[in-house]
Structure formats: C-alpha cells, structure tokens
A and B are shown apart, each in its own frame.
Chain A
Amino acid sequence: MIETIATASLAVNENLNIQKRRIKNGNNKTRLSIVTGTHGDELEGQYLAYMLGKYIDEHIELFDGILDIYPALNPMGIDSITRGIPIFDLDMNRVFPGTKDGTMIEVICSSIIDDLSGSDVCIDIHASNIFLKEIPQIRMSVPTADTLLPYAKMLNVDFVWVHESATVLESTLAHTLNKIGTKTLVVEMGVGMRITKEYCQQLFDGILNLMKSLKMWKGETNSIREPIISIDHEVGFVNSDAAGIFIPFSKFGDIVKKGDHIGDVVDPLTSKIVEKIKAVCDGMIFTLREYPVVYGGSLLARILEPVKGGDTE
C-alpha cells in the first residue's frame, strides 16, 4: 500500500509529496521502518529500498510483520542533485522535529516524525556525500549507545562509530526519534550520487538478519559480520593542508601504519607535489576522499586505530 504521509502545494501546479509503502503480512505487529533520501545527493538507499521491497514481495509468505519503506524524504533534492531542500538551501536533517503550525518544511518534518514514531526499529540510510566514500557503518551518540548497540550489531556493517553528542545534531531525524523512544539507527555507506551494489547487498543481509531477530522473517539469512566498535578505538582524521588535486596511493579498507605515505596533493599547473599525505595513526582506512579537488581543510581519509596493544581486526 502506497501512502502519502505529507504534502504541500508548490507555487506552480505541483504538490510536494512524501510517500511510503507499507508491506504487511501475518499477525505480528512488529514494525520496521526503512527511511532514506533526506540528503538529495545520497542515493545508496534508493537501491536498497528497491531490493528490499522486491525481495519481501517475492517471499511474502516468509514475512510476518509491518515493513514501511520511505525512499525519499527530500524528493525535490533527489530530483535536482541537491543535498539540502533546493528551494530553501536548508539541510533537512537540521529541521527536525519540525512543528505542526510552522513553515512548509517544518510541517513536513513534523508529519514525518509522527508517521515514523512507534516503529519498533527505524533505519535511516545515508550515503556520505559526493566527496567521501564510507565503509558501511552505523553512527550513534554516546547517550543512545546502550539501547542501539545490540541492534547495530545485527545489521552486518563493518563499523559502529559511537561519537560525542553535539547540540547542533539535536535537529536530526535520528536524534528526534530516539528521544521519543523510537529506536533509530543511522547507516552511512558508500559515496554520494552513486550506488555501490555490494554495500546495498551487505546491508540488505543485515536487515534480513534484524528482521529475523524481530520475528518478522522466517526465511534464510546469510551469516553476519561482527562490526568493529569505535568505543575501544580512536579515529584519526587526515585533512589536506594544501590546495590541489588529491591522488590517493592507498585503497579504501587498507591497513596502514602511522607515517605511511597514503597519497599526494598535486598542482596540475606547476606539476609539483604540494603536499605529501601521511597516515596520522596506525589502522584501517574507513573513509577515503573520492572527489579529487581539495582545499586546505578538505577531509582526505579517516583511519580507525586498532585496539590499544592489539591488532586491527
């Protein structure tokens, strides 16, 4: 069943509609919500939404529960390759929880929260941005970790990043939902404007596994990897200091040692290397820059340090 959960009139002969599809079978009232497309330049979730819905449709007899799929919270952004909401240049993930009597976007955000609240688990799928590629990972703030970690471990991601909470992040969809008791996990994977099929498959396996433990899925599941959890690790940030073109030497997922030469920033006009990029710590490269043009400050890589005194898993 396809349902429009929020709508608003645009200036010229058009409505902005936020839609979801509900797949329901059996007597189990457990509800899983898959939401994506908050940032219009992130598309990994589009393919996952398609493949998950299709698979459940084809094996509906093995499904028992309610699956809600919201593929596009920001349809205008996806339409125009815009990260934020195009008309307002606003990051939608800074407007939640919204208000019922507010402006168009506030009202839409408020309707989205109303519709998602009460889900037993909600998965909010992001795809980094056009600049960086991310290994499949789940991010959560310290205060939510106790509640969310058991679910995060079921989702077949490589990495769970538990970070400090920041006031500015209080306006995200996930923060809002977690605050009202709807367990929401934020997945970051792949890169903006592209679809990485193997990552979608990886998370798909994780979602089936989660559904199995929620007693929503009676079919087969694949074996699940154990994620590295950042609580025992440090994350090293590699930023460029120079401006130019970034040429990486290391690959995504590589294990590096502190000081390893992982890339160069070069100047195409003078043909000079303007900065040699070194690993800031030992560990695994879990974020790597995809977009070559860099300024001082551009993030080039993130490195996950191994457990103190141990090896990288």
Chain B
Amino acid sequence: MKKKILFSLKSPYREQLDVIGYKFGHGHKSIAIVGALRGNEIQQMYVCSRMIQELKKLESEGKILEECEILVIPCVNYYSMNLGKRFWTMDNTDINRMFPGYNLGETTQRIADGLFTKLQGYEYGIQLASFYQPGNFLPHVKIMDTGFTNAEIMKDFGLQFGIIRKPRPYDTTTLNYNWQIWETKAFSVYANATDNIDKKSADESVNAILRFMNNKGVINIKTSPGYITEIINESETQQIQSEAAGIFISLTEVGKIVERGTLIGKIINPFDGEVISEIRSSVSGIIYFEYHSPLINEKTVCFKIIK
C-alpha cells in the first residue's frame, strides 16, 4: 500500500487540506473508489476505510492480481466534516457539482479538477454516494445512463438491485457522469446511511465491491455469491409522497415486502397527536428507500418501492 497526497489546498486559517489516496498493486489502472465528497458522508468514508483494511490484507497475501492498480480515496471534503457542514465551508458549494473541474476556476472547481486528473484513466470507478434527503436505502448500485457503461455490469456487485438513472441537467457536473464521459465505467454504490454508521450495510457494500473486483479479475478471493441483481430503471420504481405535513412515523423498514394497500406509515399532527394521514403502499413490492427524520413536509418522498 502506498499512501499519497493527491491534491492539496492551502487555507488562510486551517491546516492545509490534503486529499489522500491509498494505492494498492501497480500497473493497469483497474479501479478507483471514492468516498466522502460531502461533509456528512460519514458512512461513505467508513466503507472506504473498511475497503482499505481488506485490500491491505489481500495485498499482504498476494491476492491482488499482477498489473492491477487500485486507488481508494476515503474522504475529500473533511474540512466540512470537521465542522459538521455538508458543503464547502466557505461558499457552501458542492464538490460533486463541480466536475470535471477547472484548475483556474473557483476553489471547489480546483478541488474537483485536482481530484479528477488523478481519477482519470481507470477502467472502473466506484463512488460511495448519498441521497439529498435523510433516509435509509437498501444497499444498491446505480449507473447514470450515458450510453457508455453497460448496465449489465452492475450484476457483478451481486447487490439485490441495480438501478439505471436517466441523467438530468444538474447531473452533468457530477463525478459519476464525468467519469463516464472520460471513459471510466462508473458506478454509484449506496450504502444505506449517510451521517451515521450502519455496520450491516457497510459490510454489505464492502462485500459487494470485493465481489465486483473478483469478478473483474482484479483480486482473487472466494466471495459469497450475493444476489442475482435485478436491473431496473429508476422511473419504474414507485415513489410514495407524503400527503400531509407533521411527525412522520414509519411502520415498515427497508427490505420489507409489502402488498398494495398495506399501511406503511402515518403522519400525525405535531401538536395534538391526531393522525392526519395514513400512508399506504400503492403497489406490491419491496421497500428500497425509507424517509428517516421525525418531521416531514408535504409532498416529500417517504418511501420508494420496487414493484
């Protein structure tokens, strides 16, 4: 393992920001794994730290194949992490909306550029991603449909679901999108939690990434077979939105199979406790996203169900 500073940025008031990468093996740039681009992505950083532990062991056992190089970047925006902020400390910009970056541009464009130059040329790219709303996900892998990455490759992770997302205009400045434009096959792995650590999902994500590496001939280990991944379009998943605002109580959990009409949550008046809305599943399927915060506004996605 080689620990390297990939990019540095001076700060007027804090220790220099050093984006650290951990390299394993050498030769063909096989896989790059990126963790926290945002300050609240603790679980994403944790999954990377666990990957580094695994890869250290595999390297010492000689199980990383010849001519394969793996790069892991656990955390980019630890400045914000240390302050409990999500986006860049000074101007609140999102590094994951700055790709491919610009080395003469604004600060977060420079960070994105510094990072992206080191991330180019890898055959596969894996980003540990998070969702903008508080919630729990069934661990799954997602690709942005740019026409470059074959969705079938998602099966090599052996996660229960592989989801295809049609990019929207604001997706065009994300790491995942730009990786593909620069010809890296890019995947986003969602490991359930964001600002807290969920060990079980972290285990599942680590196993999925190891399985993927094994299937791609980067490492040589015995892995559990995992799921036969079901590939679906994001537009085919059923979103259930709150019809009222108040205190949100979930009556189910991710991974549960529900029937059409099942009561899966309720919203109560925050002052007098009256139930003001019952949330019922509009389809039969499996819950793969669950809103997770005590308060909920109207028209907020509270569940996503795969039919």
Contacts and interface: CB of A to CB of B under 8 A. Distances in A.
B52 interface: no
A102 B296 CA distance: 15
A297 B90 contact: no
Interface in B34-59: none
A255 B101 CA distance: 31
B296 A168 contact: no
A135 interface: no
B196 interface: no
B273 interface: no
Interface string B80-114: 00000011001110000100000011111110000
A104 interface: yes
A295 B244 contact: no
B149 interface: no
Contacts of A273: none
A243 B244 CA distance: 48
A297 B12 contact: no
A83 B88 CA distance: 14
Contact of B104 (A12, A90, A237, A267): A237
B10 interface: yes
Nearest to B168: A171
Among B170, B173, B270, B301, which residue has the most Cβ atoms of chain A within 10 A?
Answer: B170
B10 A243 contact: yes
A296 B300 contact: no
Nearest to A8: B298
B241 interface: yes
Interface string A3-39: 0000011111100100000000000000000000000
Among B13, B87, B106, B241, which residue has the most Cβ atoms of chain A within 10 A?
Answer: B106
Interface in B1-24: 9-13
A11 B106 contact: no
Contact of A168 (B12, B106, B133, B169): B169
B105 A8 contact: no
A295 B270 contact: no
A242 B107 CA distance: 11
A299 B107 CA distance: 9
Contact of A243 (B12, B91, B247): B12
Contact of A104 (B247, B270, B299): B299
Contacts of B262: none
A268 B9 CA distance: 18
A295 B12 contact: yes
B169 A297 contact: no
A244 B12 contact: yes
Contacts of B87: 89
A170 B169 contact: yes
A180 interface: no
A167 B12 contact: no
Contact of A94 (B170, B295, B298): B170
A12 B168 contact: no
**Interface size, B (range):** 35 or more
Contacts, number: 97
Nearest to A95: B170
B245 interface: yes
A182 interface: no
A142 interface: no
Given A87-B297, A103-B300, A245 B132 contact: no
A298 B298 CA distance: 38
Interface string B148-168: 000000000000000000001
A290 to B, nearest CB: 13
A245 B296 CA distance: 42
A171 B169 contact: yes
Nearest to B88: A295
A9 B267 CA distance: 13
Contact of A9 (B107, B241, B298): B298
Contact of A89 (B86, B90, B298): B86
Among A89, A107, A131, which residue has the most Cβ atoms of chain B within 10 A?
Answer: A89
A13 B270 contact: yes
Given A104-B299, A297-B107, A89 B10 contact: no
A129 B106 CA distance: 14
A297 to B, nearest CB: 4
A295 B300 contact: no
A83 B10 contact: no
A66 to B, nearest CB: 30
A110 B295 CA distance: 24
Given A103-B241, A296-B10, A12 B270 contact: yes
B125 interface: no
A2 interface: no
A306 to B, nearest CB: 22
B132 A90 contact: yes
Among A10, A11, A237, which residue has the most Cβ atoms of chain B within 10 A?
Answer: A11
A185 interface: no
Given A88-B132, A239-B105, A104 B170 contact: no
27 contacts: A8-B297, A8-B299, A9-B297, A9-B298, A11-B246, A11-B295, A12-B246, A12-B271, A87-B297, A89-B86, A103-B300, A104-B299, A104-B300, A168-B97, A168-B169, A168-B170, A239-B104, A239-B106, A243-B9, A243-B10, A245-B12, A293-B13, A293-B90, A295-B90, A296-B9, A297-B107, A299-B106
Task: For the complex of A and B, list the 9 residue pairs with the smallest distance between their C-beta atoms, beginning with the closest.
Answer: A297-B107, A9-B245, A11-B295, A104-B299, A9-B298, A170-B169, A297-B110, A243-B12, A243-B10
